[in-house]
Amino acid sequence: MSGKDRRILEQFASAVRERFPQARIWAFGSRTTGQHTKESDLDVCIVVPGLTEAKDRAIMRIAWRVGFENDRVVSTVTYSQDEFERGPCSVSTLVQGVLHHGVPA
């Protein structure tokens, strides 16, 4: 992961945790593996206890703001803690990839 992408991830994580202190956050995808192009987005997985539609929208607004400030699209995938740990998606290739290869913030 490049230094710029790491800084963007940390800026995003800091802003999310101001609103949602218990959020767990990982970057994943091509920007973490070095297989990105200059047009690639920064994929970020966020796990928030008690995720609601309003919380999801707030996280997306933070992603837009941080991405805009840094000339990078920040794409989010959000889960409630229960979904992430015990729901059907907990065994998905996406969640397993995040857990095993994601870059924690």
Instruction: Report the pLDDT value the prediction gives residue 5, as an integer from 0 to 100.
Output: 96
Instruction: Report the pLDDT value the prediction gives residue 85, as an integer from 0 to 100.
Output: 95
Q: Which domains does the chain have, with CATH numbers?
A: 3-104 (3.30.460.10)
Mean pLDDT by runs of 10 across the 105 residues of the chain is 96 98 97 91 97 98 98 97 95 95 96
Question: In the Cβ-directed half-sphere of 86, how many Cα atoms lie within 13 Å?
Answer: 3
C-beta separation of 27 from 1 below 8 A: yes
Instruction: Report the pLDDT value the prediction gives residue 47, as an integer from 0 to 100.
Output: 98
Instruction: Report the pLDDT value the prediction gives residue 43, as an integer from 0 to 100.
Output: 98
Any residues with CB less than 8 A from the CB of 100 and at least 6 apart, and which?
none
Instruction: Report the pLDDT value the prediction gives residue 48, as an integer from 0 to 100.
Output: 97
Angstrom distance (rounded) from CA 105 to CA 49 = 17
